[in-house]
A and B are shown apart, each in its own frame.
Chain A
Amino acid sequence: MEELLRFEHVSFAYEDGAEQRLALKDCSVSIGAGERVAVLGSNGAGKSTFFLLSNGVLCPKEGTVFFHGEPVGRKKQELNRLRRGVGLVFQDPDVQILGGTVEEEISFGPMNLGLSREEVRRRVDGAVERMHLEDLRQRAPQYLSGGEKKRVSIADALAMEPELLLMDEPAASLDPENCRILEETLDMLGEQGLALAVATHDVDFAWRWAQRILVFQHGCLAADRTPEEIFSDTALLDTCHLAQPMLFRAARAMGIRPLPRTMEDFEQAVSGRHREQGGERI
Chain B
Amino acid sequence: MIVAVLAGFVMFSLCVGTLPTAAAAALCVLVGGILLAFGHHSHGGVLVIDVYARRSRYFAWSPALKTACCVLLLLLCVASASPWVPLVLALILALLTVCGGGIHLHDYLALLSLPAAFLLLSGLALLWDYAPAADGAVAIPFWNGWLVVTAAAQVRARLVMARALGAVSCLYFLSLSTTMPEILSVLRRAHVPSVMTELAVLIYRYLFVLLSVYQSMKDAAASRLGYSGFARSIRTTGSVYGNLLATSFRRSGACFDAMESRCYDGEIRFLEREKPVTLPAALLFGGLLAGTVACMMIGGA
Given contacts A108-B269, A111-B271, A142-B205, 15 further A-B contacts (CB under 8 A): A56-B260, A83-B260, A87-B261, A94-B209, A94-B212, A98-B259, A100-B179, A100-B182, A104-B270, A108-B262, A109-B262, A111-B270, A142-B208, A157-B262, A160-B262
Cα–Cα distance between A43 and B261 once the two chains are bound (Å): 22
| B interface, size bucket | 20 to 34
Set of chain B residues within 8 Å of A83, measured between Cβ atoms: 260-263
Interface string of A97-128 (1 = CB under 8 A from B): 11111011101111111000100110010000
A244 within 8 A of B: no
Binds A, one of B117-125, B128-136, B249-257: B249-257
A residues whose Cβ falls under 8 Å from a Cβ of B: 52, 55-57, 76, 80, 83-84, 87-88, 90, 92, 94-101, 103-105, 107-113, 117, 120-121, 124, 138, 140, 142, 156-157, 160
B107 within 8 A of A: no
Cα–Cα distance between A124 and B272 once the two chains are bound (Å): 12
Establish whether residues B263 and A57, one from each chain, have CB atoms under 8 Å apart when the complex forms: no
Establish whether residues B263 and A113, one from each chain, have CB atoms under 8 Å apart when the complex forms: yes
- In this complex, the member of B179, B260, B265 whose beta carbon has the largest number of chain A beta carbons within 10 angstroms is B260
Task: List the 8 closest A-B pairs by CB distance, nearest first.
Answer: A100-B181, A107-B271, A109-B262, A104-B270, A112-B263, A111-B269, A142-B208, A96-B258
B142 within 8 A of A: no
Q: Which of B212, B255, B263, B265 contacts A95 (CB 8 A)?
A: B255
CB of B208, distance to nearest CB on chain A (Å): 4
B residues whose Cβ falls under 8 Å from a Cβ of A: 50, 54, 179-182, 201, 204-205, 208-209, 212, 251, 254-255, 257-265, 268-273
Cα–Cα distance between A100 and B271 once the two chains are bound (Å): 11
Cα–Cα distance between A212 and B188 once the two chains are bound (Å): 47
Cα–Cα distance between A80 and B254 once the two chains are bound (Å): 18
Establish whether residues B255 and A57, one from each chain, have CB atoms under 8 Å apart when the complex forms: no
Assess A140 versus B50: contact at CB under 8 Å? Given A52-B257, A103-B271, A111-B270.
yes
CB of B29, distance to nearest CB on chain A (Å): 41
Establish whether residues A98 and B268, one from each chain, have CB atoms under 8 Å apart when the complex forms: yes
Number of A-B contacts (CB under 8 A): 86
Cα–Cα distance between A276 and B261 once the two chains are bound (Å): 55
Cα–Cα distance between A84 and B263 once the two chains are bound (Å): 7
Establish whether residues A99 and B264, one from each chain, have CB atoms under 8 Å apart when the complex forms: no
Set of chain A residues within 8 Å of B264, measured between Cβ atoms: 112
In the complex, 23 of the A-B residue pairs with CB atoms within 8 angstroms, ordered by the A residue number, are: A55-B261, A57-B257, A80-B263, A83-B261, A83-B262, A84-B263, A87-B261, A96-B258, A98-B205, A100-B180, A100-B182, A100-B270, A109-B262, A109-B263, A110-B271, A112-B262, A112-B264, A113-B263, A120-B271, A138-B273, A140-B54, A142-B205, A160-B262
CB of B266, distance to nearest CB on chain A (Å): 10
- Chain A residue, CB-CB nearest to B209: A94
CB of B188, distance to nearest CB on chain A (Å): 12
CB of B281, distance to nearest CB on chain A (Å): 19
Set of chain B residues within 8 Å of A97, measured between Cβ atoms: 205
Q: Which of B181, B182, B258 contacts A90 (CB 8 A)?
A: B258
Q: Which of B208, B260, B265 contacts A57 (CB 8 A)?
A: B260
Establish whether residues A156 and B182, one from each chain, have CB atoms under 8 Å apart when the complex forms: no
CB of B185, distance to nearest CB on chain A (Å): 8
Establish whether residues A90 and B254, one from each chain, have CB atoms under 8 Å apart when the complex forms: yes
- Chain B residue, CB-CB nearest to A123: B271
Set of chain B residues within 8 Å of A88, measured between Cβ atoms: 261
Set of chain B residues within 8 Å of A112, measured between Cβ atoms: 262-265, 269
Set of chain B residues within 8 Å of A76, measured between Cβ atoms: 265
Cα–Cα distance between A126 and B258 once the two chains are bound (Å): 21
Cα–Cα distance between A87 and B271 once the two chains are bound (Å): 20
Cα–Cα distance between A84 and B261 once the two chains are bound (Å): 8
